[in-house]
Amino acid sequence: MMPTTPSPRETAEARAAVLIEALPYIQRFRGRTVVVKYGGNAMVDPGLAATFAEDVVLMHSVGLRPVVVHGGGPQISDLMARLGKVPEFRDGQRVTDAETVDIARMVLVGKVNREIVASINLHGSLAVGVSGEDAGLIVAGARHPDLGFVGDVQAVNPAILERLLAEDLIPVVSTMGADAQGQAYNINADTVAGALAEALGAEKVIYLTDVEGLLADVDNPGSLISRIDAPALAKLVASGVMSGGMIPKIAACLHAVGHGVGSAHLLDGRLPHVVLLELFSDAGIGTMIVREELP
């Protein structure tokens, strides 16, 4: 038997139910800051990029204060290849000499950031591009001499972001930083998102990834962990269950919730409107990490 098409009334009722379900979350998070780390397929797929911009604008429209943080590793590698420069990695980290850090700055600040700002501003003059070098936002230092100008966050001065948020604007932050001498460093975007969330006293920090979230068994997609507290997650990491590219994200999440951020979320950025589904629905859709579950 062919499935019946919903009647106009049924369709209207379903849409109303979605709005009613979202209402208490909108009321709860109004006026709160939410930092979103944007990357993976969500960034390179044009359709997903468009829906992400819509999500950010809707968050802003219902009273949340979104801050977007982005990296751009694949785009940096692409420009390096076009310039005839071969990327070198050590333990998964890009070795960044003086020429490479200039390339990273061109890509992150001059290309990727502008594209994200433009996609958001299709819906209104809301987004402002910011580099971590601007107004001393991110004070950086070298991670390791062998890696060149790969940086770690040493301090955050969130004043420029707070001023933009006070003006009802959406900051879009590229993850360059600078030391006291003005030397630029390329910094891991996961780390920057957590550090900015902490400095801003954010309600949430959200990481868009290319997986469903945290899996109790990496070989079983049905083992998604919907909610976990920091002590339990730390035990999972210590046991070796979590590994690979998820480790920096987990470390950033644990640091954030341990330093005042209300919760951290790992979401599948390959799903359209995944941010809205996580924020404004009862079931959520990814993994939510909190400091500690109440007894």
Average pLDDT over every residue of 174-200: 94
Considering only residues 88 and 68, tell me which one the structure prediction assigns the higher pLDDT: 68
Q: Which residues contact 101 (CB under 8 A, 6 or more apart)?
A: 148, 149, 184, 185, 186
Question: Are 232 and 268 in contact, with CB atoms under 8 Å apart?
Answer: no
CATH architecture of 35-290: 3-Layer(aba) Sandwich (3.40)
Q: Is 57's pLDDT higher than 90?
A: yes
Asked whether the predicted pLDDT for residue 284 surpasses 90, the reply is no
The answer on pLDDT for 295 being more than 60 is: no
How many C-beta neighbours within 10 Å does residue 178 have?
Answer: 20
213-230: average pLDDT: 84
Dihedral sign, Cα of residue 281, residue 69, residue 30, residue 257? positive
pLDDT band of 211, cuts 50, 70, 90: confident
**H-type alpha helices, the chain:** 8-29, 41-44, 46-61, 73-82, 98-107, 113-121, 159-166, 189-200, 230-239, 246-257, 274-280
Lowest mean pLDDT among 130-134, 179-183, 289-293: 289-293
Paired sense of beta strands 89-90 and 93-94, if any? antiparallel
DSSP letters, 64-127, are: -EEEEEE--HHHHHHHHHHTT----EETTEE-B-HHHHHHHHHHIIIIIHHHHHHHHHTTSS-E
- Check pLDDT > 90 for residue 54: yes
119-135 confidence digits (pLDDT tens): 999 999 999 999 999 99
Band (150; pLDDT cuts 50, 70, 90)? very high
Instruction: Give the mean pLDDT of the chain.
Output: 89
User: Which pLDDT score, from 0 to 100, does residue 21 have?
Assistant: 86
Residue 140 contacts by C-beta under 8 Å, 6 or more apart in sequence? 132, 151, 152, 153, 154, 177, 178, 179, 185, 187
Q: What is the pTM of this model?
A: 0.92
> pLDDT > 70: what percent of the chain?
95
Comparing 11 with 251, which gets the higher pLDDT? 251
Cα separation of 143 and 153, whole Å?
A: 9
- Burial string for 106-143 (b: 16+ CB within 10 Å, else e) reads ebbbeebbebbbebbbeeeebbbbbbbbbeebbbbbbb
- Give the C-alpha separation, 185 to 78, whole Å: 19
Residue 45's identity, in one-letter code, is D
How far apart CA 267 and CA 261 sit, in angstroms, is 17
Domain locations in the chain as residue ranges: 35-290
Asked if pLDDT for residue 19 goes beyond 90, the answer is no
DSSP, collapsed to helix, strand or coil, labels residue 263 as: strand
**Mean pLDDT throughout 87-110?**
88
Read off the pLDDT of each residue in 115-119 and give the average, rounded to a whole number: 96
Higher pLDDT, 206 or 89: 206
Q: Pairing state of beta strands 204-209 and 263-268? A: parallel
Q: Which residue's structure tokens are 């990695």?
A: 89
Whether the pLDDT of residue 212 is over 90: the answer is no
